[in-house]
Amino acid sequence: MLQVFAKTLPFAALLGAAVYLFTLTLHFDFPRAPDRLGPDVWPQAILVLLILTCAAGICRTLLADRRAKSGPGEGSTARAGEAGAAEPEVPSRYGLVAGGVLLFLAYPVALEHLGFLAATFGLMMLFMLIGQWRNIPGVIAVSAIGTLALFYIFRGVVYVSLPLGRGLFHDWTVWIASLLGMR
Amino acid sequence: MVDILLHLGQGFLTVFQPVNLLVLVIGLMLGLLVAVLPGLTLVMGVVLVLPFTYKLGITPAVILLTAMYVTGTYGGAFTAILFRIPGEPIDVPLLWDGYEMAKNGEPAKALGWTLFAALAGGLVAAVVMVALSEPVARFALTLSAPEYFSLVLFGLASVVCLGGGSQINAFVSLLIGLLIATVGVDGTYGADRFSFGFDTLRDGIEYLGVMVGAYGLGEVLSRLEKGFTSPTVQQIGRIETKLPSGAEIAQVKGTFARSSLLGIVVGIVPGAGATIASFLSYGVEAQYGRRRKEMGSGIAEGIVAPQAAATASVGGAMIPLLTMGIPGSGATAIILAAFLLQGIQPGAQVFVNQPGLIYAIFAAVFASLVGMVLIGYFAIKALVKVLDLKEAPVSAFVVMFCFIGALAQRNNLSDLWTIVAFGLLGYLFDKFEFPIAPMVLGAILGPLAESYFLTAMISTENNWTVFFTRPMSLALIALSVATVVFPLVRGWRERRA
């Protein structure tokens, strides 16, 4: 039952979102002309298709579940055999994913306040630690050298305007840039 | 014909200018590297290199990406054959015969067959690309909005049906991509669509953000979920390549011709790329090949079929990109982005206005194939050494390239939120088995589809039959319907049986 719920969940969530978005298209603000298609037609067509497809996805999952309950057929036996012969599955570690997502979310904020050097050094270091690399001197060295190399390449060579940060971090980033021969 | 050869000669002169040549070699090396590393896919690799092209001119930028694209279809063969580690999904079919041949004591021969297949398949496709592009571009000039809409529709139908897996999931993915493309202020009426009051969303969602997030960060998160447990190479012994003899090549000429042709056709079809070409070609060989019953036991046909098709798909995919501005694969979608970032819309007009650029790209494909062979032949051992790298630091750099790539596009920090959002979406897609490619292609082709659709409707005063009364449009719509319906009918028949 839980498996069926997990499989129908994305379709149900998308179906709900599609219905909500469709209601929004009814209120698009534009000068309506009687014989002209407006900017609402295209998204409405997409959303109707999305609603129908999601409904089909839910029906498919429920039907597959009913078929499975009514008894495994030859096909499912064969698939079970194949699955058994496959290599052992590596267990999922959602804690690592959550840690990674939090880091990604924190990076834009850190970038604005701490500047490219400090934010990138922190992100790289923490990401490698989350990624199970336990060689601490290696992590620090790769983060430091990597950050400086990326800073030099993108600011000094490719001329991307990387954020400098605020206050002390700004001064520090500018100082490092001048040490690397960049203005 | 003479004109084409003259232009091609000029293209080679452009490619052999020092800067362009250097960029080509860098592209070749990077393409091989991303193909070898299991954590990096070809498309992700090309995405990550894109920010470096911002300050390059259009010619070196496209040469860099093209070189990566060509070699990216080949590099993963080493690790697939020698260590049973497919660097790319493209290389999975090589496990079935390539790895078996290596296990049977002939690794050098297996690598030789791969090299031959990649070079020969790539060259045939490159010749076809040069020969067909100009006529296709001229033909494209005669098409109007209904035909273009039907062509885009065919591309969208193909990406749903050719990708394998659940068609419903692929269709949902595509529709989400199309929906993403509608976000922002509409160009014709100025209507605010799905921006929810956010200024960033009013500008629309750049498909590059979708690609970088879903392919880059999403893939990293998926691998992080498994704790970065990439297979590692125990030891690297004696590695060499032994090219097949003329007599051996003659025995597989049928396989080679079939696979190259299939690769070109699959490449031309918008939405299908090297991976589909590789699997499809192996499947065709297993069903219709002369030695179909021996497939999987380590025979040359099982190596030539997927490899020739994969590399041939590059030349095929370049044709719709350059002649109509419609990307044939994920990698060509990024090459399209490189064009657009430099203010050039690929299409028939570029053949008229900038033939030098087009023929430099053609020459770059030929030069990349030759360079790929040389580097592949002489630098295999050094290349496979990269498998010793820890995945966590490699992924940390991938993450950084994603963020810098997003930032470099508009110098706008809010673009970073976009890629994080699509990174999370890409991870969830992977988790719930929704393919990413249809969403990305939907985000790329969505604005084109909408624009062609509305233009066709406005110019015909909302006459829906225009898509069915023009022969070319009707043929493309029929093809689209067949592409969708055929796998459904086949699946239904299989279930009934």
- Chain B residues touching residue A25 (CB < 8 angstroms): 193
Q: Are A99 and A38 in a shared domain? A: no
Q: Are A71 and A115 in a shared domain? A: no
Q: Are A158 and A103 in a shared domain? A: yes
Q: What 3-state DSSP class applies to B204?
A: coil
Mean pLDDT across chain B, nearest whole number? 85
Task: Give the closest of B172, B220, B416 to A54, CB-based.
Answer: B172
* pLDDT band at residue A80 under the 50/70/90 scheme: very low
Q: Are A81 and A12 in a shared domain? A: yes
CA–CA separation, B404 and B220 (whole Å): 16
Domain endpoint, select from A26, A53, A85: A85
Q: Are A78 and A109 in a shared domain? A: no
Q: Are A70 and A127 in a shared domain? A: no
Which residue segment(s) compose the domain that A163 sits in?
94-179
- When pLDDT is averaged across residues A131-158 and rounded to a whole number, the result is 90
User: Are B400 and A46 an interchain contact pair (Cβ–Cβ within 8 Å)?
Assistant: no
User: Are A111 and B416 an interchain contact pair (Cβ–Cβ within 8 Å)?
Assistant: yes
- Indicate if the pLDDT at residue A55 is higher than 90: yes
Q: Identify the pLDDT of residue B36.
A: 76
Total number of domains constituting chain A = 2
Q: Identify the pLDDT of residue B231.
A: 59
- Indicate if the pLDDT at residue B39 is higher than 70: no
Q: Are A174 and A100 in a shared domain? A: yes
Q: Identify the pLDDT of residue A76.
A: 44
- Indicate if the pLDDT at residue A114 is higher than 90: yes
Q: Are A74 and A23 in a shared domain? A: yes
B194 interfaces chain A, CB cutoff of 8 Å = yes
All residues at 6 or more sequence positions from B31 whose CB lies less than 8 Å from its CB, including other chains: B42, B45, B67, B68, B69, B70, B71, B72, B75, B372
- When pLDDT is averaged across residues B334-360 and rounded to a whole number, the result is 86
- DSSP for B163-177 reads T-S-HHHHHHHHHHH
- Chain A residues touching residue B432 (CB < 8 angstroms): 7, 10
A12-24: per-residue pLDDT in tens? 999 999 999 999 9
Q: Identify the pLDDT of residue A71.
A: 63
Q: Identify the pLDDT of residue B379.
A: 76
The lowest-confidence range among A49-53, B24-28, B478-482 is B478-482
Task: Give the closest of B172, B189, B228 to A132, CB-based.
Answer: B228
Tell me the ipTM for this assembly. Answer: 0.88
B431-484: per-residue pLDDT in tens? 998 988 889 888 888 888 898 998 898 888 888 899 999 998 999 899 888 888
Q: Are A80 and A7 in a shared domain? A: yes
B140-177: per-residue pLDDT in tens? 888 888 998 998 888 888 777 766 678 899 899 999 99
* pLDDT band at residue B238 under the 50/70/90 scheme: low
Q: How far is B432 from chain A (nearest CA, A)?
A: 8
DSSP A70: T
B68-89: per-residue pLDDT in tens? 988 888 888 887 887 777 767 7
A53 interfaces chain B, CB cutoff of 8 Å = yes
Q: Are A65 and A25 in a shared domain? A: yes
CA–CA separation, B491 and B497 (whole Å): 10
B465 interfaces chain A, CB cutoff of 8 Å = no
- Indicate if the pLDDT at residue A83 is higher than 50: no
DSSP A152: I
Q: Identify the pLDDT of residue A75.
A: 45
B215-236: per-residue pLDDT in tens? 889 988 998 998 887 655 555 5
- Indicate if the pLDDT at residue A8 is higher than 70: yes
Question: Are the C-beta atoms of B118 and B70 separated by less than 8 Å?
Answer: no
B362-416: per-residue pLDDT in tens? 999 999 999 988 888 887 777 767 767 788 998 899 899 889 888 877 788 888 9
Beta-strand runs (E) in chain A: none
Q: What 3-state DSSP class applies to B269?
A: coil
Check residues B444 and B178 and name the one with the higher pLDDT: B178
Q: Are A98 and A80 in a shared domain? A: no
Handedness of CA A77, A81, A82, A83 (dihedral sign): positive
Domain endpoint, select from A55, A85, A115: A85
* Closest CA in chain A for residue B433: A7
Residues 205-244 of B with CB under 8 A from A: 217, 220-221, 224-229
Q: Count interface pairs A-B at CB distance under 8 A.
A: 167
- Chain B residues touching residue A160 (CB < 8 angstroms): 51, 54, 404, 407-408, 411
* pLDDT band at residue A85 under the 50/70/90 scheme: very low
CA–CA separation, B64 and B356 (whole Å): 17
B397 interfaces chain A, CB cutoff of 8 Å = yes
**Across A74-83, B82-91, B151-160, B302-311, which has the greatest mean pLDDT?**
B302-311
The lowest-confidence range among B15-29, B69-83, B292-306 is B69-83
Q: Identify the pLDDT of residue A78.
A: 43
Q: Are A174 and A98 in a shared domain? A: yes
Residues 399-428 of B with CB under 8 A from A: 399-400, 403-404, 407-408, 411, 413-414, 416-417, 420, 423-424, 427-428
- Chain B residues touching residue A54 (CB < 8 angstroms): 172
Handedness of CA B421, B424, B430, B431 (dihedral sign): negative
- Indicate if the pLDDT at residue A36 is higher than 90: no
